[in-house]
Amino acid sequence: MDYNNFRERIYYVDKKKLLVYALLSLVMYSCFEIALIYDSRIINDFVKIFKIILVMISLMFAMHLKSITQKELYGVLEIFFTIFWIISMIFFTPNSQFEEIKILLKKIGCGTNYEFNIFHIVILYYIMAKYRINKKNDKFIYLEYFVLILITSTINFINNITEVHFVYKIYYLVIILIVIGTYRYFKIYNINVEKKIDLLKLNVNLLTLKILASLSTNYINIFFINDVVKFVKIIIFTSTILIIIVNIAKENYNFIFKETVKTNKNLEYINKEIIYNNYKLEEVYRNLNEKQLLYKRFLGCLPNPIVIINNNLRIYYCNEKFLDIMEVNNLKNIVNRRIDNYIDFKCDIRDIISDINNRPVSTTINKDNKKLEVRIFSVNTEKSEFILLLKDLTEEIKLSNMKEELESIKMREEIKRNFLSNISHDLKIPINVIYSAIQLEKVLIQNDDIEKLSMYNELSKQNCFILTKFTNNLIDMSKIDSENLEANLGLDNIVEFIEDYLNSLSTYIKNSGLDIVFDTEEEEEFVYFDKEMMQRIILNLVSNSLKFTKEKGTIFINIKSTNSYVLIDIGDNGIGMSEEFIKKAFNKYEMENRTRESNSTGFGVGLFVVYNLVKAQNGDIKINSNIGQGTIFTIKLYR
């Protein structure tokens, strides 16, 4: 309901309507006074019954008004009529009943209608003037109302028990201050509705005149004017009550009637929507059945095995391909069976399904010596249905392996074709360097330049190491190919042997711009090994670190031991290796793409030789490497 329009109907009325209700109130009041003149018992009881009905109707509409407008102000109005009804019912009882309560009510000013109106109605008018425009549901309105009632009741009570004229003046002073406050809010919330009278302001004006007239009778003989103002005030107040009750009843009737019509129309609309939706539902159901048949035919035509399961892992549907691969003759024999009865996922499939978030999840299984890829899709989140698409990876794996083997063969063939050119290149460079150094030695000896002579001697020594490594690899490779590689094992201190050999290489390593770090847990570790083979292993691995580690890098050798074996770690912080290359690093002629594209020399036999030399000594070797984080070769020699 539009409260702004409703408020105008409650507080404002045109002059003609007010005049009509004033005449009606005058008639009612006249009948009441005439009935009091006869003072018969029947008339008096009738008047009491009429008063009770009037108070109850006022209370009922006050309660109803609060539920319509949802404003706290009308909660106060409900309290006012409740108090008025309780006090009226107490005084309507015979004189012998509730005597003490009646005496107390008279002392606080509620003994007669006149005294009741003086402070209760003034306070009510003040609250209405203050909060009728206020849009906030201010809970303090109740506190303010009861505080004002408590103040005026207390002053009235003191006045009645002491009969001190000063207290009587204080009582009227408080009443006047409340009235002034009422006019103050009239001025703040000044709203004029065209051609209509503000009922609240009219009643406040008449009540103010009545208070002033009552006070004036103590000093001037104007009892007639006081009675006239009192009479007009009663008529206008009664008219106001009648107007409010009629307007609320009329507005409530219209409201209920409109809501009923609106509800009926909404129900008719909803009924039509239900009928229309039923037709659509039937049509959708037919289309769904047709699509389901088409869907099953489509799944049956697919070359890959497909199965649909629910969240309980029960098979809902599968195609012929799935039946064939599971060796089942009829669909009925597999429907409603658990999927893990036919496929071993090596884990709980519920964990796999729980990871599906609008994205397919893939896993692999083994079935009858075949490797299958299983892709799981979520197709119905409400019913928790999932599609499992199976794909045979056996042929793909064979094809991939064949492709890798072909690439490896092509690369090995390419290295073989370039083998002689690589050998001549690797031989010619160190020989040229040594020959050039020898030619310069005579000049340096004549000039007595010992420092440069030492430098060129060291350079010749480094190239001798390179030639030694190169020729040893060729010899070892030929022995490996002819299966004629034999180790001459002897018991010796591996720690001392490696440390001495590294000292011979230290100058070679430092001239390359790298640091070398040697660390061991024990100073003596005796194992069986071939000294010549171990020198070739260390030289190959150190040479690799020199080639693939940037300047200012580090080469480190760590020796650890247990009761069963000795571990030798030879590593660096160079460019590292990829996971794919690590798997085939010890194969003959294998070189990583990044290595072949770099300026480093070699043709893929160094690690092949190292691996076979370690195996010839009954040892093992492993690689631990990441791209950009260096490489560690771990050699295990058993005691």
Give 473-487 pLDDT, tens digit per residue: 777 777 776 677 788
Tokens of 379: 């197709």
Cα–Cα dist 365/356, whole Å: 18
329-385 per-position pLDDT tens digit? 877 778 888 887 777 777 777 767 666 666 677 777 777 777 777 778 777 655 577
> Is the CATH number of domain 302-392 3.30.450.20?
yes
Cα(57)–Cα(67) distance, integer angstroms: 16
Which tokens in the block code for residue 369?
A: 């010596």
Binning pLDDT at 50, 70 and 90, where does residue 327 land?
A: confident
Is residue 235 pLDDT above 60, yes or no?
yes
Q: Which residues contact 412 (CB under 8 A, 6 or more apart)?
A: 588, 589
Q: Which CATH architecture is the domain 465-638 placed in?
A: 2-Layer Sandwich (3.30)
Q: What is the C-alpha to C-alpha distance for residues 349 and 365, in angstroms, rounded to an integer?
A: 12
Euclidean distance between CA atoms 522 and 524, whole angstroms:
6
**Letter for the amino acid at 37?**
I
Please tell me whether residue 192 adopts helix, strand or coil conformation: coil
Return all residues near 282 (Cβ < 8 A) that are at least 6 apart: none
The arithmetic mean of pLDDT across residues 102-125, rounded, is: 70
When the pLDDT of each residue in the chain is averaged and rounded to a whole number, the result is 76
Contacts of 143 (CB under 8 A, 6+ apart): none
Give the pLDDT confidence of 165-180 residue by residue, as tens digits.
Answer: 677 778 778 888 888 8
DSSP, res 39: -
DSSP for 216-271, written as a single string: HTTTS--HHHHHHHHHHHHHHHHHHHHHHHHHHHHHHHHHHHHHHHHHHHHHHHHH
Does the structure show a pLDDT above 80 at 160? no
pTM of the predicted structure, to 2 decimals? 0.37
Task: Return contacts of 315-322, CB within 8 angstroms, 24+ apart.
Answer: 315/339, 316/385, 322/390
* Top mean-pLDDT range of 82-96, 208-222, 268-282, 352-366: 268-282
Contact 472, 478 (CB under 8 A): no
Name residue, tokens 């106001």. Answer: 240
